[in-house]
Chains A and B, each alone.
Chain A
């Protein structure tokens, strides 16, 4: 109890620091210099209608590469960590799921995957992108795991999709070095007509890779967790 009181005092200290941190906060009234550049010149330089996508994939594309790497690493570590080392040990005790979930999943899963693909292909035009699309795809697959716990999906396929899309992303980045202004420059295949599906240069391609990669990585994590499940 004394300890909790002490922690409370410390947290008051943290609160004071955070309050001080925003002591000078007045709320923006206008875009800053960099944001202004993105919004004003983004359409011309990058060709993406979604400025956030322009920032994520191109201006700060290097961050995104790191971000994908982090997910990739999490999936790899979780996969390694939770690998079932002795499979023949115990018969896993899995219950059957309800009829409703089963039926609904058969309808929903393909739609969800399709929607996920839509979201990442249109990432440069509308809200969304590779991460969101990938997450939707993974949600669909997770739904499938829940509905059909006995269904086995190999890690192998997931790994291969992951590797192909990862290598593809890096190669697109390198193409930027070789054919355009720098690593991850999207201006390698022409920007296309602003606002259409085939525009914004390499962004849709990169987002396809990201989407597939994120989808497979999240699925991989979920799969590893599922395989560790003993009672459901």
Chain B
């Protein structure tokens, strides 16, 4: 193997000899430099391989032929090899990225560039503290040189600020080193660790100075204005190096020198990390400059890694896994984002929508941002999971809360930014992407995917089969050039195969009725709802991979047996649905609130799972039932995540707009299928509650109230909507409220109602949205006032909507009535009369909007431009009629679903259920026979239909337009609809219930965040001297903090 000393010899030799080529061909110089850097990368990679593949032992390299402490020694161990490889790979990629810059500037800059990486390499390897100081100086000088790669005015002044700041820091380090030499007698780091420096008067101050200098090198908030200016003003290729290589190296220095300070230093380092992590991410929310945001985020991530380092004792043998998975994710993703920022070359994130027409760049940006956020399947997800769980195991919940809060801040600005890149772009400016600029980012994203797989394997939490969906999604992504028709077939085939495997092969043999039901809803539903995809023209880029990910996420929820698998699937499903929603034309803002609420909910769930792990020591889902001491906390925290998904009152504000603005065939998917993931989660959670301590807990009672109020408010809001999709969306909030209410009764009948409602809601909500989407597909409008009289043009859609609303409103003879009947039985048996009354009242409200839906769209006069309208496409109708058949079957024979569910539930709720006699179901309060009712209704309907048919000859047809103002152009188009504003009187009476005070209060919180952040960041004055003062103040404050005085 090539010895590590050649890393230095080759770099230096090449850099020095570049002087010969100064005036000669710059290609030769660049070629030499690149070759040397490639060879250096090869050396470090080869050592890494040796450490990974066989038991290579850590080696020491002695310079000058003497052993330390008499001479300077270098060390090559596993950690060194990892860091060196990271640094050198980044160097190589950066060289490619900066190719035209370096070539333009000539050999001088190439030397500087090369020696930066040489310096970092030595800093990682050296075991002599003064040598570390020297090479640290090399890296800061080279960095200062690279900042002025583009001689912009602000880059020059930020370079000066950097010089002053790093000058002060290195002087502090130097004073510390010399004093440590005096007190400890050695500059060899191993000797310093072993010596009793800390116990000598003055020695501990020397250690303080050394470590504070290292901390300052990590650019801790708030003594980091100089670093932020560098991030902002240097060309982004340099930002990538600072954040990827220099910050990484500084972390390694801290890792190397921290043992000198001993355990007493762990907590201060952790607190420094916390301040950096929370502070930078909080201030990042307010930033608009892309590179500066990346700077904030970089400092925040370093803060997180400092926290992890300080908690190494608590993480035990998982420390390396956590640290490296988060470090590598950060390193690759941040460098990638800097590179993309350089390609886009726009300061403001608002201008990033220039990449709107470059799907490749959007995907890269997405991959990098989601990696930073620690979402599955990216490596940081596993790291974060292990971090939180191991912290939970040792009871460090303060740390957990801090880490998740900071991550949430980071999510806010990264996701807002991501939304902005997808904004519609009126500007027709063409973006030129050079190959050498995009190549490093592509490599980096490939490395991320590779590490995703590797970390998943190393984590030991995942079996290979979890990668099948990703493989399929990647395959679909690779086949994105195919027309939509073929991809749709592929997607349907995939989901069908999935459902066959899952439902038929796994759950039916296990007779696990709950999972069979939800498997049906998630997967058979998916197949049905993919059919309208055939009506889409063009490519629908990116749609199918996301659909597959979303549905496999849902399937993963059912499959999950551990909290990890559940959380993984949950996050994957959330992420994919977010990306699906954001594809909608005007969905950027609303998808942002969707993902923020979802992430906040997911973090709560995360803490909940952690708490359960803390108490039970197991990550099995069943172990949730064993939680006793912290039961209330666990249940509340986990439930919040689910409540967000079912959009309960208070956290519902994301839902209406998201449903409305998503693509027309995505809306049925999320509204009828995706929300059920929340229901499924609640069922899983509350089943485990039921086993032990539901009775003693107040949570079901509170949830019951939330459910009842959600039902009321959701329905109230629905009746005033003029946007047909929004109307149906609000009704979802209402129905989810019912289901929540049913579950929270914690009784046999309540659950029976809730679960059957879930099935029924799936059927009719999919039906309604499909019908509505089919209508929109033809009318090209979502506004109810622009519709009307469509019954003659679209009779089949009319039937769908009719069936849908009858079911929704709970009218006999359809199955909705069965639900209602059981519901009242359950309420009465439970004794929740007041809440029951609210729910009952909201049922009446539901009737109002149902009526509006059918009355205003299908009845009355038709609009002029709709006279030639055809019935909607058959692809919209097929799933509708399959769903109608489903509704009909369970309306006639509700027993086929109710009886097995009842049997299943009696395991958990032995209380009173339905008693079946033939087709008659009875409780102590009464009985009901769906089949009989259906027959009676069919008979009555037949009779009335014949009478009406006979009378129809006498009907006088009203002429078109006779109610519209003659020759008058109305001021508002709404008024041309014959039934516009039909519920105005109700609005007068009860409109206060629909006031948007919840939306307003959330917006107030969001705005306050901004205002506070705006004030705090004022201390970054831009004055280099002030930044120098910040550093000195930081040192003094830190000293006071550690020693409690002078």
Q: Please say whether the chains A and B touch (CB closer than 8 A).
A: yes
Q: What residues make up the interface of A, taking CB atoms closer than 8 Å to B?
A: 7, 10-11, 13-14, 16-18, 20-25, 28, 32-34, 37-38, 45, 58-63, 65-67, 69-70, 72-74, 76-77, 79-81, 155-156, 159-160, 162-163, 166-167, 169-171, 173-174, 176-177, 180-187
Contacts of B22 in A (CB 8 A): 155-156, 159
B1029: Cβ under 8 A from any A Cβ: yes
Q: In the complex, which range does the number of interface residues on chain B fall in?
A: 35 or more
Select from chain A the residue with minimum beta-carbon distance to B20.
Answer: A163
- Residues 109-146 of B, flagged 1 when their CB comes within 8 A of A and 0 if not, give 10110010011001000001011001101100110110
Contacts of A174 in B (CB 8 A): 9, 13
Q: How far is the CB of A14 from chain B (nearest CB, A)?
A: 6
A23 CA / B1046 CA spacing, docked (Å): 12
Contacts of B109 in A (CB 8 A): 80
Contacts of B106 in A (CB 8 A): 80
Specify which of B9, B119, B202, B1035 is in contact with A25 (CB 8 Å cutoff). Answer: B202
A185 CA / B70 CA spacing, docked (Å): 13
Specify which of B64, B108, B1032, B1046 is in contact with A10 (CB 8 Å cutoff). Answer: B1032
A33 CA / B119 CA spacing, docked (Å): 29
Contacts of A33 in B (CB 8 A): 185-186
Which among A7, A13, A66 has the greatest number of chain B C-beta atoms within 10 A?
A: A66
A-B contact pairs, 19 of them (CB 8 A): A10-B1029, A21-B179, A21-B209, A24-B200, A33-B186, A58-B71, A59-B64, A59-B66, A60-B131, A62-B64, A62-B128, A63-B72, A63-B130, A66-B134, A72-B16, A77-B108, A156-B23, A162-B16, A173-B9
Known: A20-B1046, A166-B17, A176-B65. 11 other contacts (CB 8 A): A21-B202, A23-B205, A24-B201, A32-B185, A59-B70, A66-B137, A72-B16, A80-B112, A162-B19, A166-B16, A177-B5
Contacts of A186 in B (CB 8 A): 64
Contact in complex: A184, B175 (CB < 8 Å)? no
Select from chain A the residue with minimum beta-carbon distance to B22.
Answer: A159
Q: How far is the CB of B159 from chain A (nearest CB, A)?
A: 9
Q: How far is the CB of A222 from chain B (nearest CB, A)?
A: 17
- Residues 149-164 of B, flagged 1 when their CB comes within 8 A of A and 0 if not, give 0010000000000000
Contact in complex: A70, B19 (CB < 8 Å)? no
Q: How far is the CB of A208 from chain B (nearest CB, A)?
A: 15
A173 CA / B23 CA spacing, docked (Å): 28
Q: How far is the CB of A48 from chain B (nearest CB, A)?
A: 12
Q: How far is the CB of B34 from chain A (nearest CB, A)?
A: 18
Contact in complex: A70, B1035 (CB < 8 Å)? no
B45: Cβ under 8 A from any A Cβ: no
A80 CA / B179 CA spacing, docked (Å): 37
Contacts of A17 in B (CB 8 A): 205, 208-209, 1035-1036, 1039, 1046
Select from chain A the residue with minimum beta-carbon distance to B17.
Answer: A167
Contacts of B1046 in A (CB 8 A): 13, 16-17, 20
Specify which of B63, B137, B182 is in contact with A70 (CB 8 Å cutoff). Answer: B137
Contacts of A162 in B (CB 8 A): 16, 19
A67-B134, A80-B105 known; A20+B202 contact, CB < 8 A: yes
- Residues 1-22 of B, flagged 1 when their CB comes within 8 A of A and 0 if not, give 0010100110011011111101
Select from chain A the residue with minimum beta-carbon distance to B1026.
Answer: A3
Contacts of B18 in A (CB 8 A): 163
Contacts of A159 in B (CB 8 A): 19-20, 22
Contact in complex: B1036, A13 (CB < 8 Å)? yes
Contacts of B144 in A (CB 8 A): 77
B406: Cβ under 8 A from any A Cβ: no
Contact in complex: A23, B1032 (CB < 8 Å)? no
Contact in complex: A163, B17 (CB < 8 Å)? yes
Contacts of B71 in A (CB 8 A): 58-60, 62, 182
A10-B1036, A37-B70, A60-B72 known; A166+B64 contact, CB < 8 A: no
Identify the 8 closest CB pairs spanning chains A and B, nearest first. A181-B65, A166-B16, A163-B19, A24-B202, A24-B201, A185-B65, A13-B1036, A77-B145
Contact in complex: A23, B201 (CB < 8 Å)? yes
Contact in complex: B19, A166 (CB < 8 Å)? yes
Contacts of A65 in B (CB 8 A): 8, 12
Specify which of B16, B112, B134 is in contact with A163 (CB 8 Å cutoff). Answer: B16
Q: How far is the CB of B1 from chain A (nearest CB, A)?
A: 14
Considering only residues 270-292 of chain B, those with a C-beta below 8 Å from chain A are none
B489: Cβ under 8 A from any A Cβ: no
Contact in complex: B65, A187 (CB < 8 Å)? yes
Contacts of A23 in B (CB 8 A): 201-202, 205
Number of A-B contacts (CB under 8 A): 196
Specify which of A22, A79, A183 is in contact with B5 (CB 8 Å cutoff). Answer: A183
Considering only residues 204-235 of chain B, those with a C-beta below 8 Å from chain A are 205-206, 208-209
B30: Cβ under 8 A from any A Cβ: no
Contacts of A60 in B (CB 8 A): 64, 71-72, 128, 130-131
Contact in complex: A176, B16 (CB < 8 Å)? no
B62: Cβ under 8 A from any A Cβ: yes
A73 CA / B203 CA spacing, docked (Å): 34
Contacts of A169 in B (CB 8 A): 16
B1033: Cβ under 8 A from any A Cβ: yes
Contacts of B205 in A (CB 8 A): 17, 20-21, 23
Select from chain A the residue with minimum beta-carbon distance to B135.
Answer: A66
Specify which of B70, B175, B1040 is in contact with A38 (CB 8 Å cutoff). Answer: B70
B183: Cβ under 8 A from any A Cβ: yes
A80-B108, A160-B19, A163-B17 known; A180+B65 contact, CB < 8 A: yes
Q: How far is the CB of B155 from chain A (nearest CB, A)?
A: 11
A16 CA / B141 CA spacing, docked (Å): 30
A7 CA / B175 CA spacing, docked (Å): 21
Q: How far is the CB of B165 from chain A (nearest CB, A)?
A: 16
A163 CA / B36 CA spacing, docked (Å): 16
B61: Cβ under 8 A from any A Cβ: yes
Q: How far is the CB of A7 from chain B (nearest CB, A)?
A: 7
Contact in complex: A183, B61 (CB < 8 Å)? yes
B148: Cβ under 8 A from any A Cβ: yes
B542: Cβ under 8 A from any A Cβ: no
Specify which of A16, A167, A181 is in contact with B64 (CB 8 Å cutoff). Answer: A181
Select from chain A the residue with minimum beta-carbon distance to B1033.
Answer: A10
Specify which of B70, B72, B111 is in contact with A62 (CB 8 Å cutoff). Answer: B72
Contact in complex: A70, B17 (CB < 8 Å)? no
Contacts of A73 in B (CB 8 A): 111-112, 115, 138, 141-142, 145
Contacts of A63 in B (CB 8 A): 72, 128, 130-131, 134
Contact in complex: A24, B203 (CB < 8 Å)? yes
Contact in complex: B63, A183 (CB < 8 Å)? yes
A159 CA / B179 CA spacing, docked (Å): 38
Q: How far is the CB of A45 from chain B (nearest CB, A)?
A: 7
B69: Cβ under 8 A from any A Cβ: yes
A166 CA / B114 CA spacing, docked (Å): 15
Contact in complex: A176, B64 (CB < 8 Å)? yes
- Residues 1022-1038 of B, flagged 1 when their CB comes within 8 A of A and 0 if not, give 00000001001101100
Contacts of B185 in A (CB 8 A): 32-34
A60 CA / B1040 CA spacing, docked (Å): 36
A85 CA / B20 CA spacing, docked (Å): 21
A137 CA / B105 CA spacing, docked (Å): 29
Q: How far is the CB of B14 from chain A (nearest CB, A)?
A: 9
- Residues 172-206 of B, flagged 1 when their CB comes within 8 A of A and 0 if not, give 00010001001101100000000000001111011
A163 CA / B15 CA spacing, docked (Å): 9
A81 CA / B148 CA spacing, docked (Å): 8
Contacts of A155 in B (CB 8 A): 22
Contact in complex: B12, A166 (CB < 8 Å)? yes
A22 CA / B1032 CA spacing, docked (Å): 19
Contacts of B13 in A (CB 8 A): 167, 170-171, 174
Contact in complex: B1036, A14 (CB < 8 Å)? yes
A61-B64, A73-B145, A80-B108 known; A24+B183 contact, CB < 8 A: yes
Contacts of A81 in B (CB 8 A): 145, 148, 151
Q: How far is the CB of B596 from chain A (nearest CB, A)?
A: 40
Q: How far is the CB of A215 from chain B (nearest CB, A)?
A: 15
A208 CA / B231 CA spacing, docked (Å): 41
Select from chain B the residue with minimum beta-carbon distance to A171.
Answer: B13
